[in-house]
Structure 1
Amino acid sequence: MNDQGRPAGVPFRLAGMMFLQYAALGAWIVTLSSWLVQPAGQGGLGFSSQQTAFLYATQAIGGLVAPFITGLLADRFFASEKLVGTMHLFMAGSMVGIGQVAKSFAGENANPPVACLYLFFALLGYSIASVFAITVGNSMAMRTLANPQKSFGPVRSMGTLGWIVSSNVVERFFRLQSEDLFAVSAACHVILGLLAWKLPHTPPKGRGRPIPEVMGLPAMKLFRDPSFIVFAAVAFLIQMMQQFYTVFATPYLLDLGMANPVAKLSLAQFVEMGCMASLSFMVVRFGLKTTMIVGLLAWVLRNSVLMGGNIPAITAVAIPMHGVSYTFFSIVAALYIDKEAPPHLRAGAQALLTFVAGGPGTLLGFFLGGWVKDAHTHGPTTDWPAVWLVPVVGCTVATIVFIVFFHEPKVPQPADGTPTPELLPENP
């Protein structure tokens, strides 16, 4: 994590930031759905699949709102490290409150419609702050690392490690279907909120620039390129299909009788770290389009194996493919923007695609997933193969469209093929 030309501690402080912010998310995102859908008689909240998807949709709304707030606050008015610290302290308080609200509506006190309404607004504020903090943190890293093309990858990989550690700690030492999820997350937010004041000073750089420029609106001109339209449409569809896995992977594996599903799901993050190490070779040797096709095919394979319902195959193939697909499509997407957009539009182009795919795409995916699962659930039994068939078809269509209609830009690429911050919202 060497970064010549900067104070020795900068990369390590940024790596600590990445570790803690993704540890805070990993503590609850993967496991919350299993508590929400657990019957009230078993201590759960008794939510339907659509109510569960409604809560997870707050992440998508955060993806819609946060880019505008980021452009206005971080680029024009406040130092990034102060914003990151403030947001994480706010999120710590939110996690404590959310945990207590969820606890009050669990078991014999279950009232899914009322609980869903309360939790929705609480998670909405949290999600906006979360997307905001991650976006500002990525931007801070890119501005303060001396050689971000080489240093950002190792720094960012600590976020994946944080997700792995927290999700496994929660499963091993805490109650999965309880407010413990939010307590662990709150602890991570508090630590980062306090340590953020020691992050590299990153003053706003957009003072004096017009607000539309700070918010990245000039990047809309990229839609004049047919390949960019194809790319954005495929990213939109993929984000929709990805939400089936985000919301229903843990309940599905529990239904299959898999032991320690959260620990097994973290296999994807280990594979992701390995794929990150090979990313430079893949991009330089095969190009962006071929690398992204590998990522898309991995999504098709993952969902197809999930549809089969064979636990050994899911463990050995489907879960690892999640790490392959995320790295080789979502991360490589940032490299595509670096090649497609002129330098003065790159940041705006990333914000634009985050808005298009991470906002409406994710939002529609949550609602579609909830509707599909409820349509194939009768009493306590869910026809899971029918549920997973939808993302199989969706990812297959996206892959075919990308192969046929997308053309890689013919401009020089970064020498080492290392990505800039994530273009699409992360869900490790």
Structure 2
Amino acid sequence: MKAALRAQLSVMMFLEFFIWGSWYTTIGVFMSSHNMGTLTHWPYTVNPVAAIIAPFFVGLIADRYFATQKVLGILHILGAVFMFLVPSATGNSTLFILLLLGYNLCYMPTMSLANTICFHKMSDQEKEFPLIRVFGTVGWIVAGLIISFVLNKFVAANVKPEETGMQLYMTAGASLLLGLFSFTLPNTPPPAKGKKVSAASIIGIDAFKQLASPSFFIFLLSSFLICIPLAAYYNFTQHFLAATGFEKIASTQILGQVSETVFMTLIPFFFIRLGVKKMLAVGMLAWIIRYALFALAAPDQITSLIIIGVVMHGICYDFFFVTGQIYVDKRATPQIRAQAQGLIIFVTYGVGMLVGAPIAGSVYNKFLGTSEHLTLQQWQNFWWIPAGFAAVVLLFFMATFKEKRQTEASL
């Protein structure tokens, strides 16, 4: 891959995840500061709803009628408009959530579209993709640093920048920038142009049929199940950090992305030596360890254990999500590449997170009762629940996933 092309794709990935990192881990703090503390699970509900709809859009539009980079640009520009309006709707919680839904309907298809543009230009996915995808993690890190160390200079001394709407306006601005930049990306023509439109192809059934095997089904099912406890991390870690005395919440959480950056560059090394099954299993095991560390640290506010738990995010994400994206792409033909990436996002960020977000919210609210905040002991009990759930999923995966190393090597 030429250096100029690698630079373009790296900038695309940087902005793609800078946008997501600018609001996703801070929206709960913002909502709580605007009298919507009991509704903080909603952003993590509309996000997976959008992820479920995304494959329909990708299968119907991006795969058939328009160049992928043009669809990516238009969606980010539309998303910028929605996000710009979000902070002005704090007085109307219903409108606030609907605007977030509109934004996520624009954003979530862009994740698979960005992957599709990358994979379209790659000949060696497991070596080339992590080195470009790592810039997405860097983008998420930079977003958190800006929120904690730049935006804080524009707020009062006793106000956290996460409590203001500035990070949401930053999201809108970055989305507009990526939208415009997308039109300069390499042309990625629709792979299924001229083919008959069918419901099966739009929702990814055609891709599923081509990829179908017992091991692939177990992979999809495990991906769905593990995303249920994952919802607890995205939704409530920001609240947990605040409860245990952390001041700079956004910059603390990006330690997970720093770790993600390191492990992303090591994926080619581990992919060859461990194979798909062991890499996915290590990712799930890391989630168990992370939640266990949070639980053990909660009563006595053991900062070191909490930070280690946050840092575990690199292994959690890279070894499961990035490995899974590579695994799916290597099994897919060029004609269903976008569908295949859309399918995995549908299963994980879509159905899995949609099921997980209200469950996490329900468990949290049950602990909360009529109080305003969980006690440290309640936080310990809360974190043991996703830890136990993830442990069951790991045992199921290890017992049933039978993909052989020699099969992986031939993918």
User: For residues 183 and 355 of structure 1, what CA distance do their matches in structure 2 show?
Assistant: 27
For 2:402, the aligned partner's letter is: H
The aligned residue for residue 176 of structure 2 is 190
Cα separation, partners in 2 of 1:385 and 1:149, compared to 1, 3 Å: closer
For 1:210, the aligned partner's letter is: K
User: For residues 63 and 136 of structure 1, what CA distance do their matches in structure 2 show?
Assistant: 12
Verify: 1:200 aligned to 2:192, yes or no: no
Verify: 1:178 aligned to 2:164, yes or no: yes
User: For residues 266 and 338 of structure 2, what CA distance do their matches in structure 1 show?
Assistant: 25
DSSP-derived class of the 2:25 partner: coil
Given candidates 209, 230, 244, the residue that maps to 1:242 is 230
User: For residues 47 and 273 of structure 2, what CA distance do their matches in structure 1 show?
Assistant: 35
For 1:204, the aligned partner's letter is: P
Residues 257-296 of structure 1: CA distance to partner in whole angstroms, max 9, x if unpaired? 1131221211111111111122122121122211221111
The aligned residue for residue 398 of structure 1 is 393
The aligned residue for residue 134 of structure 1 is 111
Residues 232-276 of structure 1: CA distance to partner in whole angstroms, max 9, x if unpaired? 222111111101010111111001111312212111111111111
Q: For the Cα contact (< 8 Å) 2:49–2:354, is it kept in 1?
A: yes
The aligned residue for residue 117 of structure 1 is 94
Verify: 1:280 aligned to 2:299, yes or no: no
Cα separation, partners in 2 of 1:194 and 1:23, compared to 1, 3 Å: same
The aligned residue for residue 15 of structure 1 is 10
Q: Counterparts of 1:9-88 in structure 2 under 5 Å?
A: 9-38=4-33, 44-48=34-38, 51-88=39-76
Q: For the Cα contact (< 8 Å) 2:44–2:353, is it kept in 1?
A: no
Cα separation, partners in 2 of 1:224 and 1:288, compared to 1, 3 Å: closer
Cα distance, 1:214 vs structure 2: 4.5
Q: Which moved more, 1:384-393 or 1:206-215?
A: 206-215
User: For residues 314 and 217 of structure 1, what CA distance do their matches in structure 2 show?
Assistant: 43
Cα separation, partners in 2 of 1:336 and 1:87, compared to 1, 3 Å: closer
Cα distance, 1:222 vs structure 2: 6.6
- Identify unmatched segments of 5+ residues in structure 2: 152-160
Verify: 1:143 aligned to 2:143, yes or no: no
Q: For the Cα contact (< 8 Å) 1:170–1:176, is it kept in 2?
A: yes
Q: TM-score, normalised by structure 2?
A: 0.89
RMSD: 2.3
Q: For the Cα contact (< 8 Å) 2:55–2:342, is it kept in 1?
A: yes
Given candidates 290, 308, 314, the residue that maps to 1:317 is 308
Cα distance, 1:347 vs structure 2: 4.9
Cα distance, 1:381 vs structure 2: 3.2
Q: TM-score, normalised by structure 1?
A: 0.85
Cα distance, 1:35 vs structure 2: 1.9
- Identify unmatched segments of 5+ residues in structure 1: 39-43, 106-114, 418-428
Q: For the Cα contact (< 8 Å) 2:82–2:99, is it kept in 1?
A: yes
Q: Counterparts of 1:346-425 in structure 2 under 5 Å?
A: 347-378=338-369, 379-382=371-374, 383-409=378-404, 411-413=406-408
The aligned residue for residue 205 of structure 2 is 217
DSSP-derived class of the 2:319 partner: helix
Cα distance, 1:357 vs structure 2: 2.8
User: For residues 32 and 19 of structure 2, what CA distance do their matches in structure 1 show?
Assistant: 22
Q: Runs in 1 of length 4+ with deviation above 4 angstroms? A: 145-149, 338-347
Residues 318-365 of structure 1: CA distance to partner in whole angstroms, max 9, x if unpaired? 011111111111211234335666776665444333222322211111
Given candidates 277, 286, 291, the residue that maps to 1:289 is 277
Cα distance, 1:409 vs structure 2: 3.6
The aligned residue for residue 158 of structure 2 is none
For 2:98, the aligned partner's letter is: F
Given candidates 131, 142, 147, the residue that maps to 1:154 is 131
Cα separation, partners in 2 of 1:80 and 1:226, compared to 1, 3 Å: closer
For 1:314, the aligned partner's letter is: L
Q: How many residues align?
A: 393
For 1:403, the aligned partner's letter is: M
For 1:195, the aligned partner's letter is: F
For 2:317, the aligned partner's letter is: Y
